[in-house]
Structure 1
Amino acid sequence: MSTSSERAPFIEAQFLEDLEAGSINLEAPYEESVVKEVINAFGEAFHDSAVQIRGCYNPNVPLMFRVLFAIPMDVLDIAQKQGWLTEDDPIVQLHKSISRECPRSLDEPEFTASHGFEAEWKFLGDTYSVDQILAIPGMTDGIRANRQRFIDLNLTNVPIMHLHYRDKTVSLYFLAQGPLTKKHLTEVVALAGAPEPTDEVYQNIVGVLLDASYYCTVVMDYETGKILRVEYHLLFPVKLPDEMEIPNVGERLEKFWDVPSYEIEDMDILSFCFGDTPNGQILALRSYCGGLRSLMKAWGIVGV
């Protein structure tokens, strides 16, 4: 999928060049002024963090870049000072509640190359039960109403959350034990109204997961609790096992791997998303700089 290259420090001019080239390659919108605003807002923090870039199988979807900090960073304060968020946003209040209830959590902001700040990937610092997560103040009744559906599918352990301010969604990353059966995959994606995945899609997923533990994300509308998407994340190790089968992601997404990585050890991820499209939309993520794999190992992320 990709080849390793030596790690280099974050260089703004190089990052802007790589992000623009990747956007052109994937027919994705790009606004340099927006990206510069983000870099200026976080200053030196970009040099002390890992940076990850994500591309989408579909055209006209901007590249996303995530900045992952190894130590606590008050992302909310920066976002509010920049005017990206307001105090009266209910998801801002939920964010604060999560930080209080999960004191070891870390905030990892997400930006797109066309809109800037959009979301936060929130590593909780521990694995919480779904009951603990749903009890956090600020969770809506609509989200809490999904509790039994999660439990019935053995989706009970939550180490990561995701708050999307622009889309007004809340996502729970469930840590699940493999092997993943076709029956279980079908039942879980049905939460988002998706049909049974094809045998090819199923094989694309389990060909990477094998029998290992994995992450499954459920994306919900914040107000109503409606489940919009289900996502399965495939993390690729440094050395691929002989039995691992690399999915065919299509010509467009193959171009995403042309975005350079300046890491000693690349960290590549594929995410299969169900709910928006019948056979699953595919997202591709790769580390850009900053030692993402080492950071995720330190956090105990499975599959790294």
Structure 2
Amino acid sequence: MSKATVAEDVYAAIEESARLAGTPCSRETVWPVLSAYEKALPQAGIVLSVSTVEHPPADLDYTITVPSGTVDPYAVAVANGFVTDTDHPAGTLLADIQARVPVTEHLIDCGVVSGFSKIYAHFPFDLLGLSQLADIPSMPPALADNTDLFARHHLTDVAMIGIDYQRKTVNLYFAHLPEEFRTAQNILELHRELGLPEPSGKMLEFAQKSFRVYVTLGWDSSRIERICYAPSPVRGWDPSHLPVPVEPEVEKFVNGSRRTYAGPPIVIAAVKWTADGQYLNLGPYCRLSPLMRKLLQQLTGQPV
């Protein structure tokens, strides 16, 4: 299958999923991204997701993996006007990360309404510790300011870093979480220290199942702007197991979105806290990259 045909198939899947979710989708917004990264698409993994806080969802996010050696994700983003090359530290952070760790794959994050937003560096087999991260010159100072807090709450090893070029923020994805992290007491104390609303009931139970946790940092403040908890993806899903109700159009989107693998959908859910409250992101895997298949098989213990 030609790269152009793969791009058309991916666009059709995104457009159809947005329609199921009740979210407007414009080819003028989505196609330039798919065209720019079409060299990466044949081997790319793709995850679609929506927020359950809005009814219907105002945007549908699509995350595309960019296998190493296909394209330079930042150079492509700048060349196509998705990102403005700048002297802000956000403009050099990806290169600084690449110089310190072998990146297994990159990812790009976009919305069908909001457009291009993030690039991720994913290094699940070569985790970076807090001191290594704090030494990166372009990293937000908020990381160094909160190193002791992270360590106290058993957040020490980072497997992925996301750079939001629209908001000028960074996401740190902590992996290999010990059981000490997952205790209710630890999570509640962490939220108190962050000044964020405390989880309770099903939300707390959901957070305790996390296989990865990410925090959002900016360059202008030491404050942790957001924390997100993500349990392992599941093959098939039961909306009643989620900590918040799922609207019918979101259930239709998760069950009905196209996928290029056999069997029930593989679904990822993540609950996020900000100073304004909490919300859930939910969505199916559309296409699986070779690395996605390997990691999902390790997580689920089942062939993918």
Is 1:95 the counterpart of 2:97? The answer is no
Q: Tell me the distance in 2 between the aligned counterparts of 1:37 and 1:144.
A: 37
Name the structure 2 match of 1:33: 28
Q: Following superposition of structure 1 onto structure 2, how do residues 74-113 of structure 1 map, counting pairs within 5 Å?
A: 74-88=72-86, 89-113=88-112
The answer on whether the counterparts of 1:161 and 1:171 sit within 8 Å (CA) in structure 2 is yes
Q: Following superposition of structure 1 onto structure 2, how do residues 1-304 of structure 1 map, counting pairs within 5 Å?
A: 11-59=6-54, 60-72=57-69, 73-88=71-86, 89-124=88-123, 125-175=125-175, 176-178=177-179, 180-206=182-208, 209=209, 214-238=211-235, 246-247=241-242, 249-252=244-247, 253-257=250-254, 258-264=256-262, 266-278=265-277, 280-289=278-287, 291-292=288-289, 294-296=290-292, 298=294, 303-304=299-300
Per the TM alignment, residue 190 of structure 1 is displaced from its structure 2 partner at its CA by 3.4
Q: Gaps (5+ residues) in structure 1?
A: 1-8
Q: Tell me the distance in 1 between the aligned counterparts of 2:33 and 2:25.
A: 13
SS at match of 1:256: helix
Distance 1:151 1:84, change over 3 A: same
- Higher-RCO chain (CA-CA 8 Å, sequence separation at least 6): 1
Q: Gaps (5+ residues) in structure 2?
A: none
Per the TM alignment, residue 191 of structure 1 is displaced from its structure 2 partner at its CA by 4.7
Q: Tell me the distance in 1 between the aligned counterparts of 2:33 and 2:172.
A: 26
Q: Tell me the distance in 2 between the aligned counterparts of 1:92 and 1:194.
A: 29
Per the TM alignment, residue 146 of structure 1 is displaced from its structure 2 partner at its CA by 1.1
The answer on whether the counterparts of 2:270 and 2:281 sit within 8 Å (CA) in structure 1 is yes
Per the TM alignment, residue 220 of structure 1 is displaced from its structure 2 partner at its CA by 1.2
Deviates more, 1:294-303 or 1:246-255: 294-303
Task: Give % identity.
Answer: 18
Per the TM alignment, residue 248 of structure 1 is displaced from its structure 2 partner at its CA by 5.0
The answer on whether the counterparts of 2:215 and 2:227 sit within 8 Å (CA) in structure 1 is yes
Q: Tell me the distance in 1 between the aligned counterparts of 2:162 and 2:200.
A: 28
The answer on whether the counterparts of 2:161 and 2:170 sit within 8 Å (CA) in structure 1 is yes
Q: CA RMSD in A?
A: 2.7
Per the TM alignment, residue 56 of structure 1 is displaced from its structure 2 partner at its CA by 0.9
Q: Tell me the distance in 2 between the aligned counterparts of 1:31 and 1:239.
A: 29
The answer on whether the counterparts of 2:102 and 2:126 sit within 8 Å (CA) in structure 1 is no
Q: Tell me the distance in 1 between the aligned counterparts of 2:259 and 2:65.
A: 15
The answer on whether the counterparts of 2:140 and 2:218 sit within 8 Å (CA) in structure 1 is no
SS at match of 1:171: strand
Per the TM alignment, residue 262 of structure 1 is displaced from its structure 2 partner at its CA by 2.2
The answer on whether the counterparts of 1:269 and 1:285 sit within 8 Å (CA) in structure 2 is yes
Give the count of matched residue pairs. 284
Amino acid corresponding to residue 251 of structure 1 in structure 2: V
Q: Tell me the distance in 2 between the aligned counterparts of 1:301 and 1:92.
A: 35
Q: How big is each residue's C-alpha offset from its partner over 1:155-212, in whole Å with a ceiling of 9 and x where there is no partner?
A: 1111111111112111111121237221122123335422221212123344xx3xxx
Distance 1:302 1:232, change over 3 A: farther
Per the TM alignment, residue 251 of structure 1 is displaced from its structure 2 partner at its CA by 3.0
SS at match of 1:284: strand
SS at match of 1:227: coil
- TM superposition score normalised by structure 2: 0.83
SS at match of 2:38: helix
Q: Tell me the distance in 1 between the aligned counterparts of 2:32 and 2:244.
A: 32
Per the TM alignment, residue 276 of structure 1 is displaced from its structure 2 partner at its CA by 4.8
Distance 1:91 1:301, change over 3 A: farther
Q: How big is each residue's C-alpha offset from its partner over 1:71-122, in whole Å with a ceiling of 9 and x where there is no partner?
A: 3431011111112223324212111111111133532111111232210122
Amino acid corresponding to residue 42 of structure 1 in structure 2: Y
